[in-house]
């Protein structure tokens, strides 16, 4: 059942949603820092929250979904938990919050486990979008050859090695990535490995994770940049 966005409407189709919309449009004229994000909760429809980001029209986000640095963490009745550029905020219908972009040691990334308990998230390598799978058993950020090709990585000058797999011994490549970005965290000079077989996602291994503080709370994992 819809709440907030559809609930308590009057015969002319307005009600709480119109009040909230007017409130947010009024707030939108306030001057904000160029590094800040203004987020308001216009309403809730089933398992989706209608979020207004920087004065834009309401956008429906599902739990775990992220848009323009805003991630929906949870829906609790007529309130939600959101992550705004690494800062967690609670919002009720008609409320808004401002989150400044994090940087340096304060940078964070919040990941939500999928149905199999795996932590996957979107991010970037050298500015190119990728899909990451957190793997604490991988010593480095690891990917398949096709992904390395898509990212334009130079394997000709990479360090070669051998790795034992179920299909026998294969040649692997080790190199350094200029940048790896997950959430608000951007790390430079990250060691990576390229394997010959294709992989469904890039493994976010310990060469990245060791430079963060990992905290897990149920289905939520928070990474905080440590250096």
Q: Tell me which of 101, 118, 153 is where a domain ends.
A: 101
Query: Do 112 and 221 fall within a single domain?
Result: yes
- Could you give the CA distance from residue 68 to residue 54 in angstroms, rounded to a whole number? 10
Query: Do 23 and 119 fall within a single domain?
Result: no
Query: Do 18 and 6 fall within a single domain?
Result: yes
Say how many C-beta atoms besides its own lie within 10 A of residue 180's C-beta: 24
Query: Do 113 and 55 fall within a single domain?
Result: no
Query: Do 8 and 54 fall within a single domain?
Result: yes
Q: What is the pTM of this model?
A: 0.57
Question: Residue with structure tokens 């007529």?
Answer: 78
Question: Residue with structure tokens 């060791």?
Answer: 210
The pLDDT, as a whole number, for residue 7 is 40
Helices (H) and strands (E) in the chain, counts: 3, 19
CATH of the domain at 196: 2.40.70.10
Query: Do 126 and 92 fall within a single domain?
Result: no
Alpha helices in 28-107 (DSSP H): none
The pLDDT, as a whole number, for residue 104 is 52
Q: Indicate the number of domains in the chain.
A: 2
The whole-number average pLDDT for the span 204-218 is 93
**Which structural domain range is residue 145 located in?**
105-225
Q: Is the pLDDT of residue 135 over 80?
A: yes
């Amino acid at each position: 059942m819809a709440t907030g966005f559809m609930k308590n409407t009057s015969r002319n189709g307005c009600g709480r949603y119109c009040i909230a919309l007017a409130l947010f449009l009024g707030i939108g004229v306030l001057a904000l820092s160029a590094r800040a994000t203004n987020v308001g909760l216009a309403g809730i429809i089933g398992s989706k929250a209608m979020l207004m980001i920087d004065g834009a029209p309401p956008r429906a986000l599902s739990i775990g979904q992220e848009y323009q640095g805003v991630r929906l963490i949870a829906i609790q009745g007529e309130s939600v938990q959101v992550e705004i550029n690494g800062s967690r905020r609670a919002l009720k219908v008609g409320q808004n919050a401002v989150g400044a972009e994090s940087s340096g040691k304060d940078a964070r990334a919040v990941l939500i486990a999928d149905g199999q308990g795996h932590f996957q998230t979107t991010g970037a390598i050298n500015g190119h979008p990728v899909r990451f799978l957190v793997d604490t058993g991988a010593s480095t950020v690891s990917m398949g050859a096709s992904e390395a090709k898509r990212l334009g990585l130079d394997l000709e000058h990479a360090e070669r090695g051998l790795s034992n797999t179920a299909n026998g011994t294969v040649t692997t490549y080790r190199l350094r990535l200029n940048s790896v970005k997950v959430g608000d965290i951007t790390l430079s000079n990250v060691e990576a490995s390229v394997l010959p077989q294709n992989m469904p996602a890039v493994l976010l291994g310990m060469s990245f994770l060791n430079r963060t503080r990992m905290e897990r709370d149920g289905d939520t994992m928070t990474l905080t940049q440590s250096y």
